[in-house]
Amino acid sequence: MSCVVGIDLGSTTTKAVILDENCEVLGRGITNSRSNYDLAAAVARTEGFINARFGLVEQQLQATETAAMVSRLRRAFVMEQILQQLRRLEQLMLEETERSAPDHLKSAFRASIEEICRRIAVEEEQRFKQPPMLRSDFFRDAAGSAFMRIAEQLADPAGVSFDRLVGVYDKCIIRVENEPLDLDFRDHIGDALRRVGNPPGLADAVEYAVARDLEPSYTVGTGYGRARLPFPKEQIRSEILCHGLGAHAMFPGTRTVLDIGGQDTKAIQVDEQGIVTNFQMNDRCAAGCGRYLGYIADEMNLGLHELGPLAEQSKRCVKINSTCTVFAGAELRERLGLGEKREDILAGLHRAIVIRAMSLLARSGGVSDEFTFTGGVAKNPAAVHAIRDLVGENYGERTLNISPDSIYTGALGAALFASRIAA
């Protein structure tokens, strides 16, 4: 089957979208960008193809239980990937211990690491048996939080201390992230299938999906890491064009696009064909970008995904003046000191970001109907809430489009450019 790939190498996450010859989405993949862009692109692409093959599995199954069955298979597959990465992590940590731990602690160290990894594996197996729970897609986050928790329980302040364990983990997780592992569909689907009991219909569908040829004819790259992609120049497109075209493909009525990314915010105007007619980008600092929220989450000791829901509980939004990332931290601490509620402060911070974005939107030509919000921050309900309010206050009633796949908008646009080259 002929297909094309779009890769968006963002500053924090790397996304891939695979399209078939009718420009329908076959698969989507995402990974954290880490310090190795080449690998991030490869992993996102692999994830995209895995996703595409699951799509093929689904297509083959017409029965009513399809969704539940495939979802279970997916979870089993992800678990196999995680277990493989965990095995590699354990191996590296043991090697590191051999190399750097004091002799008298070597065996105690080994025992601790083996025990932590064993417990993580057990937790993962347990997790698979339970109904799916929301958590980060990335191995680093999943393994990291479990490691810290268990290491704290096992650590012996006099011997293998928590700090020493964390030191070994930190060193090795970077290596696991930065070396290519076999995480492809074909590498783990067999184990995943066995884990869900090898149901005959599903096994046939998997066989079909494995056998299908999915060779991309073209790939187009975008995002800050675009220069890393080994493509000729005509296969590189700017994020601004990709977000414009991607948003147009998701919502053809789109005329204004706002993308709040990790490092920058872009306000884009597009015509009826999705061609960019105007854009504005933030400058000077990361104020008002996704990273600002990351920083606030760190300041508050919260996960990034917890910020929005917490802010949504606010009854009285606190006015935050600073969108300077560092000053906002100072303002946040002062407000906490004054006894303001966390959720009210957070609501204020979200509004502050969106006020910055509104200024860019105004500079790019205002907010036309329909308005599409793209990028990772579009998943954050408090940011969406603030945008809805501020667009309404400034421009009156506008249709606000947000796709559940908004984070893939840039990659989708890139894939659409790839399909145009292929055609």
Q: Which of 183, 209, 276, 391 binds another protein (CB under 8 A)?
A: 276
Smallest gap from Cβ 289 to another protein, in A, equals 12
Smallest gap from Cβ 269 to another protein, in A, equals 10
Q: Which of 281, 324, 336, 355 binds another protein (CB under 8 A)?
A: 281
Q: Is 275 in the site for another protein (CB under 8 A)?
A: yes
Q: Which of 15, 237, 291, 385 binds another protein (CB under 8 A)?
A: 237
Q: Is 277 in the site for another protein (CB under 8 A)?
A: yes
Span interacting with another protein, options 21-29, 179-187, 237-245, 336-344, rule CB under 8 A: 237-245
Site for another protein in 355-374 (CB under 8 A): 363, 365
| Contact pattern from residue 246 through residue 265 relative to another protein, giving x for each residue in contact according to CB under 8 A and a dash for the rest | ------------------x-
Which of 301, 317, 299, 330 shows the shortest CA–CA distance to 383? 317
Q: Which of 103, 213, 215, 283 binds another protein (CB under 8 A)?
A: 283
Site for another protein in 171-200 (CB under 8 A): none
Which of 113, 86, 123 shows the shortest CA–CA distance to 167? 113
How many chain residues bind another protein (CB under 8 A)? 20
Q: Which of 116, 240, 293, 378 binds another protein (CB under 8 A)?
A: 240
Q: Is 271 in the site for another protein (CB under 8 A)?
A: yes
Q: Which is nearer to another protein, 316 or 363 (CB)?
A: 363
Q: Which is nearer to another protein, 161 or 263 (CB)?
A: 263
Q: Is 61 in the site for another protein (CB under 8 A)?
A: no
Q: Is 35 in the site for another protein (CB under 8 A)?
A: no
Residues near another protein (CB under 8 A): 224, 237-241, 264, 271, 273, 275-281, 283-284, 363, 365
